[in-house]
Amino acid sequence: MKAVVVSEYGGPEVLRLVDVPEPHAGRGQIRMRVRAATVNPSDTVLRAGAMDSMLDSLLAPPYRPGNEAAGVVDEIGPGAETDLSIGDRVMAMVVPYMPPGGAYAEYLVLDPRQVAAAPAGSSHAEASTIPANGLTVQLAIDLLSLAAGDWLAVTGAAGAVGGYTVQLAKAIGLRVVADAAPADENLVRSLGADLIVSRGVGVAERIREAVPGGVTGLVDAAVIGSEVLPAIRPGGQLAMVRFADMAGAPSMEDHGDITVHEVFVPDYVHERDKLDALRVRAETGGLTMRVAAEYPASQAAEAHRRLEAGGVRGRLVLTF
């Protein structure tokens, strides 16, 4: 089968589309024929070598990026506990440092708990944007455990994770203040934000002006780090994605009385019920699946270049 791999760390040019042995579903496993896999910031972190100690301790090179995929079930191993059938359209959460590697491949063999039905009416590319991004947001919201009516701030609200955060927060009754560039204000407003402030330097102060006294919680989807702390009220909470530490995000050692949660989405890799709940939200219009562009797997390097150039709204998707 074809897979996109990293044999040596570096820039996008190190990504190679190669032939690797085709896996088959063993006892208790599902195999999916992958049709789409997203390109996430954590994929560029892996490619650049910032996860080398983790990967080297668990897998042998070449390594395969990719955190989420969509496709079709084409094998079900004996004893697999699933209500899915051969031919069902599905989406899956994938962890690149778990055997056999990430989602950039034509076939994936997975634990059934990683796989859920794709939203009805979605394309493979659209469905692939949900698992890792949606579960990242769900974990952040679960960790914050805010009450209906509380104020939540979201940085990077126009991005894939930020946009899902706005929508899922509104679905549980939170009030949301979100940042946006002028060109993105209508998009962020359409996702449900109650208040919008300008993104960029000084965003914490602008959030504090919009919500006097500060917000109860903040999801830092833009990976700003310690500079967002002044937006949060005393005793409030901050949720930040775990891979940010690997990517060299600002230190969070001094955060006063703010509780900081590290959102490490592999903690939810087997939370199939939560993944299926995201499917339901997508089907009922509560989660907008945004695909910025699609690239054939042979152009994975170009997709990484575009992501790292910044300004992508929605997710870039590799097709297989």
Q: Is the pLDDT of residue 186 over 60?
A: yes
If you average pLDDT over residues 98-118, what whole number do you get?
Answer: 96
pLDDT on residue 50: 84
pLDDT at position 210, please? 98
Predicted local distance difference test score (pLDDT) of residue 254: 58
pLDDT in tens, 11-51: 999 999 999 999 999 999 999 999 999 999 999 999 999 88
Structural domain boundaries of the chain?
2-130+289-319, 133-266
Q: What pTM value is reported for the model?
A: 0.93
Does the domain made of 133-266 have the CATH classification 3.40.50.720? yes
pLDDT of residue 253: 57
Asked whether residue 248 carries a pLDDT value surpassing 70, the answer given is: no
Query: pLDDT exceeding 70 applies to what percent of the chain?
Result: 96
Does the structure show a pLDDT above 70 at 112? yes
Q: Average pLDDT of the chain?
A: 94
Of 136, 154, 160, 147, nearest to 197 by C-alpha is 154
CATH topology of domain 2-130+289-319: Quinone Oxidoreductase; Chain A, domain 1 (3.90.180)
Q: Residues 309, 315, 318, 319: is their CA dihedral positive or negative?
A: negative
pLDDT at 245: 44
The pLDDT tens digits for 49-84 are 988 777 877 888 899 999 999 999 999 999 999 999
**What is the crossing angle of helices 160-171 and 131-144, to 10°?**
50
pLDDT of residue 252: 53
Examine the pLDDT at 251 and tell me if it is beyond 70: no
Residue 243 has pLDDT above 70, yes or no: no
End-to-end Cα, the chain, rounded Å: 10
* Confidence check: pLDDT of 229 > 90: yes
Q: 267-303: per-residue pLDDT in tens?
A: 999 999 999 999 999 999 999 999 999 999 999 999 9
Q: pLDDT tier at 232 (50, 70, 90 boundaries)?
A: very high
DSSP code string of the chain: -EEEEESS-SSGGGEEEEE-PPP---TT-EEEEEEEEEE-HHHHHHHHTTTHHHHHHH-PSSB---SEEEEEEEEE-TT---S--TT-EEEEE--TTSTT--S-BSEEEE-GGGEEEPPTT--HHHHHTSHHHHHHHHHHHHHH-PPTT-EEEEESTTSHHHHHHHHHHHHTT-EEEEEE-GGGHHHHHHHT-SEEEE-STTHHHHHHHHSTT-EEEEEETT--GGGGGGGEEEEEEEEEETHHHHTTPPP-S--TT-EEEEE-GGGGTT-HHHHHHHHHHHHTTSS---EEEEEEGGGHHHHHHHHHHS---SEEEEE-
CA dist., res. 307 & res. 303, Å (int): 6
Q: What is the pLDDT of residue 152?
A: 98
Q: What pLDDT does 250 receive?
A: 47
Specify the range with the lowest mean pLDDT, choosing from 51-55, 110-114, 152-156, 207-211. Answer: 51-55
Residue 51 confidence (pLDDT): 80
Inter-CA distances, 71 with 47, 75, 92, 163, Å? 24, 12, 9, 24
φ and ψ at residue 245, rounded to 5 degrees: -60, -40
Q: Using one digit for the tens of pLDDT, what is the confidence trace for 144-181?
A: 999 999 999 999 999 999 999 999 999 999 999 999 99
